[in-house]
Structure 1
Amino acid sequence: MKYISYQEWIEHGGQVYEVQAKPSGIHTQPFKTFLDEFNWMINTHSKVFLFRFDLRFADDNVCLDNSKPMRILFRRLVQRLGRHYKTKDIAYTWSREQEKAKKQHYHCILMMDGNRIRLAHKLCEKIREIWLQISGGSPYWSEEYHFHRSDLNTQSEAIRHCSYIFKARGKGYKPQYAKDYGHSNLRKKAK
């Protein structure tokens, strides 16, 4: 069972993070996995680029019984971005949402070395192209952040904004083999 917190602050790794927990609560374990990836990026790169976007399917009635589209998307995206920006350090997190009467969709977070990427234009083109091939659907852009590892205010703002995708509402209405969350594993690669 996933633990849900209704607190506006979550402690992890000796730090306290402000989150958007109201009204449905926040799944703490996947949020902490995201924080581990976030902190790995900050500890590895002096600047970090964080981009949040949403994905929808062309057909409103799609309800997949697995997470294959997300595996394909991020495998292709990491390969293409790695070649284009000449980096292997690309972190990501995604969440699947579907409420009883609404269509399935995904919220995504992508993080890269901020010294390699300045603008999201090329990144958006690649995401749009890959998602169209996979689903026929469209991405929706949410927010982008560029920050230095010493810029704690922007980091806090980005973390609070991203905490939205870990909200409890909309999770759990899924087939058995579909996942609610997925993450890269850069933090494990370093160990």
Structure 2
Amino acid sequence: MTGGVLLTNTTTVSSYAYHAHGRYEAIADSFLYGDHAYPINSTDKSRVRLDILTPMMEELDAMQRTYSRVFVARFDLRLPSGTAVETGNEWIRQLFKKLRERLKSKHRRPESITSPIREFAYGWVREKEKAKQVHYHCWIALPHRQVRSIGTANCGLGGAITEVWCDLTGGKPSLVEFPGGEYIILRGEPETLEEPVWRISYLAKERGKFSTGQGDRLFSTSKLRHKYPNT
């Protein structure tokens, strides 16, 4: 990959990088969103991709317009050995579809969630480091009044995620990992977003990303920002 023309956006300096199937814009300093500059998890060898981080930030912004207090958590998903990229991508699409169905249900949602959840946001990226199986880094944001913890692989929201992923893949609970880090975002207090953005910016790092050239998604998010646009 090679660098392109430098662009400036107040405190953010970005440049284009090119690969076999296109290009993307990346930053190495802070991420400016609205009137706030957020620290990002970048290194000299792996900057942060704006095409990934920006829509994820827009989803968090849409959640704040919907709920005054938002709970955010991270989790990681692995695939059984030999799983094709298109299969893994379809499984993760189905995961969030089935989670949405459960969270909205009066009877099938996790016991720790006392009432149906109508809106939530999420994002995922696909990665493959050297000599490692393809895996997915994910985040999810929900109303804090209904979700106070992600739980574990055996209970709560974490239990639902694990159960659905195991059903889809035919794998074991060890395919799901909860790396820690749970956050509460408060509407109108951008400093409460700093830690979540730092964690989510890791998902947008350059390292580990690859394109098949076959139209398979490298990342995706919910579409809450289209339902609740920032006007």
Normalising by the residue count of structure 2, what TM-score does the alignment of the two structures yield? 0.76
2:177 partner SS? strand
SS in structure 1 at match of 2:86: coil
1:190 match: 228
SS of aligned partner of 1:19: coil
Q: Deviations over 1:20-79 (max 9, x none)?
A: 1213111102200001011111122111010100000132x3232352111101100111
| Cross-structure match for 1:91 | 121
Query: 1:134 — aligned with what?
Result: 168
Matches within 5 A, 1:1-191: 1-22=22-43, 23-59=45-81, 61-65=82-86, 67-83=89-105, 84=109, 85-121=115-151, 122-135=156-169, 136-137=171-172, 138-142=175-179, 143-174=181-212, 176-191=214-229
Question: 1:119: how far off?
Answer: 2.2
Using the TM superposition, give the Cα deviation of residue 161 of structure 1 relative to its aligned residue in structure 2, in angstroms.
1.2
Report deviation, 1:169. 0.8
TM-score by length of 1: 0.90
Higher helix share: 1
* Secondary structure of 2:197 counterpart: helix
1:140 aligned partner, one-letter code: E
Q: Is the 8 A contact 1:51 1:111 kept in 2?
A: yes
CA-atom RMSD in angstroms = 1.8
Distance 1:72 1:110 in 2: 15
Alpha-carbon distance, 1:173 to partner:
4.5
Name whichever of 136-145 and 38-47 sits farther off: 136-145
Larger Rg: 2
The AA in structure 2 aligned to 1:91 is A
Instruction: Decide whether aligned partners of structure 1 residues 89 and 129 sit closer, same or farther in structure 2, where only a CA change above 3 A counts.
Output: same
CA contact (8 A) 1:65 1:177 kept: no
Counterparts of 1:15 and 1:111, CA distance in 2 = 20
**Residue ranges of structure 1 left out of the alignment (5+ in a row):** none
Equivalent pairs counted in the alignment come to 190
Counterpart-to-counterpart distance in 1, 2:23 and 2:103: 33
Greater RCO between the two (CA within 8 Å, min separation 6)?
1
Contact 1:53 1:140 in 2 (8 A): yes
Kindly indicate whether the alpha-carbon contact (under 8 Å) linking 2:59 and 2:225 is maintained by their aligned counterparts in 1.
yes
Deviations 1:108-149 (A, max 9, x none): 010011111122221000000000011115210022212332
Identity %: 29
